[in-house]
Amino acid sequence: MRAAVVVFPGSNCDRDMAVALRAAGADVQMVWHKDADLPADIDLVAVPGGFSFGDYLRCGAIAAQSPICKAVVAHAQRGGYVLGVCNGFQVLTETGLLPGALMRNSNLKFICKDVDLVVKTTDSAFTSAHTVGDMVRYPVAHHDGNYSIDSDGLARITGDDRIAFSYAQNPNGSVADIAGVLSENRRVLGMMPHPERAVDAGHGGTDGQALFRGLLDQLVSA
Ligand SMILES: NC(=O)CC[C@H](N)C(=O)O
């Protein structure tokens, strides 16, 4: 599997993402926000966490206007895979690739801790190594992780089985405890918790490995 990791000024999980993807067997290239094109034959684009452009305006709003994001949208429209984590999830909602928005945490504080998540669907490459109802523990680190969507949108993503992960104990006020959402074609996943920070025992847990392993298994056998 060939993966590209997008780097913006202020990204801080780009290298963690590259390490996690390489550990799972991916061939990874970093791409800069000013690049207008992705490298050829990319299967997956990962949009990492961080504070792109200092979180000015709204988290992810300026990054979503960058040249590389046009290429990421085109990649998704061709049926390519995209994984957005934390600030990456915020960027994907700002590009319109995923529905909803990430608002300020309900307690108005930056939350940095490990959280338990429930796997809600296995109908995606990202969650294919799981069973529905599996619990995984990933870190969160954000101030704008409060997932919000209108009632029609919520009914649509619920009815389409597009909620990938929910929080066991909601840390940030997200509607319906949503921690991660899939696109209509199930190839774009955005999530606030960080699987790439849970792939090495030194991180305190390795639950994130299953996401990268599932992705690699599905994409290599496709
Ligand atoms: N870890 C992250 O990607 C944080 C995203 C964003 N800067 C926020 O605090 O909400």
**Nearest CA among 26, 136, 105, 110 for reference residue 5:** 26
> Ligand 1, residues 87, 108, 110, 191: which to mutate, most atoms within 8 A of Cβ?
87
Please state which architecture CATH assigns to domain 2-221: 3-Layer(aba) Sandwich (3.40)
Q: Is 196 a catalytic residue?
A: yes
- What pLDDT is attached to residue 203? 86
**What digits encode the pLDDT tens for the residues 93-146?**
999 999 999 999 999 999 999 999 999 999 999 999 999 999 999 999 999 999
The residue ranges of every structural domain in the chain are: 2-221
**Nearest CA among 91, 117, 115 for reference residue 102:** 91
Q: Looking at the predicted structure, is the pLDDT value of residue 222 above 90?
A: no
**What digits encode the pLDDT tens for the residues 204-213?**
999 999 999 9
Q: Is 112 a catalytic residue?
A: no
- What pLDDT is attached to residue 220? 79
Name the catalytic one among 69, 130, 196, 203. Answer: 196
**What digits encode the pLDDT tens for the residues 177-201?**
999 999 999 999 999 999 999 999 9
Query: What is the percent of the chain where pLDDT is above 70?
Result: 99
Q: How far is the CA of 89 from the centre of ligand 1 (A)?
A: 9
Q: What is the distance between the alpha carbons of residues 86 and 140, in angstroms, rounded to a whole number? A: 8
Evaluate if pTM is beyond 0.95: yes
**What digits encode the pLDDT tens for the residues 33-78?**
999 999 999 999 999 999 999 999 999 999 999 999 999 999 999 9
Lookup result for tokens 């200092």: 54
Residue 90, SS3 per DSSP? helix
Q: Looking at the predicted structure, is the pLDDT value of residue 221 above 80?
A: no
What's the ipTM? 0.97
Which run of H or of E encompasses 70?
Answer: helix 67-77
Q: What is the distance between the alpha carbons of residues 19 and 56, in angstroms, rounded to a whole number? A: 28
